[in-house]
Structure 1
């Protein structure tokens, strides 16, 4: 009987446990984010149980806004036997700055749209070469 350490999972089992589609698992493998341990005689991928930990990490890191490239770099550090927490902290700090910039841009856009809507007047006349003079900042008569 196989022990927990030597038990291998087929790709379908990995999908069932992780909730990640087979196509995505294959894609992650093509990027080098995960590796299959071997293949069956029929050519089916087999994965060790630690692939579940990697997939959970990848999913969480993506939810935090990290790209697959960034995640791959972090996993490379981990695969070299080093703790990647320093790299992760740096990436998350960068992500936070990006979010703050996006919030500022959205607040500016919100203010501009609110200003347009607060003074909105329906204009019956069409202006030449104009779709909507209100948003095109064309003075109204």
Structure 2
């Protein structure tokens, strides 16, 4: 085996080292998030060691809520030789605003549900025009 080949990882080795399933690694490659350097004679993908750094980065920013499309855009900036920290900061600031809106929506929903529950009373009569009168709050005047 050539010394250069020792530095290359097969897709199964990448999976073992990262815990990321082979199918996901193939998907990331199809999106251009990672690249295999070449294939073996048997057709197996071979990756350089830097794929481990890229995959760790992808998982980290995914956990922060960025989409694969956003991650792809960030990696394009990086691949052009630039540091994408500015782009990442913008995306994370947008994510914080999104989370704040979701929190507001959830607090409103929570308040509405608590209001329904605070006035809850069991209704034993079956009303054909409603499934649950308390929830549907329909009144026939």
Q: TM-score, normalised by structure 2?
A: 0.94
Cα deviations across residues 44-96 of structure 1 (Å, max 9, x unaligned)?
00000000000000000100000000000000000000000000000000000
Count of residues in correspondence between the two structures:
140
Q: Which residue of 1 aligns with 2:24?
A: 24
Q: Distance between the aligned counterparts of 1:46 and 1:134, measured in 2?
A: 61
Give the root-mean-square deviation of aligned CA atoms: 1.8
Q: Distance between the aligned counterparts of 1:103 and 1:137, measured in 2?
A: 26
Bigger mean CA deviation after superposition, 128-137 or 69-78: 128-137
Structure 1 gaps of 5+ residues are none
SS in 2 for 1:134: helix
Q: Distance between the aligned counterparts of 1:113 and 1:14, measured in 2?
A: 47
Q: Distance between the aligned counterparts of 1:117 and 1:36, measured in 2?
A: 56
Q: Which residue of 2 aligns with 1:71?
A: 71
Residues 12-91 of structure 1 correspond to what in structure 2 (within 5 A)?
Answer: 12-91=12-91
Deviation at 1:2, TM superposition (A): 2.4
Greater share of helix residues, 1 or 2? 2
Q: TM-score, normalised by structure 1?
A: 0.94
Structure 2 gaps of 5+ residues are none
Cα deviations across residues 2-39 of structure 1 (Å, max 9, x unaligned)?
269x7100000000001100000000000000000100
Q: Are residues 19 and 45 of structure 1, via their aligned partners in 2, closer, same or farther at CA, if it must alter by over 3 Å?
A: same
Deviation at 1:137, TM superposition (A): 1.3
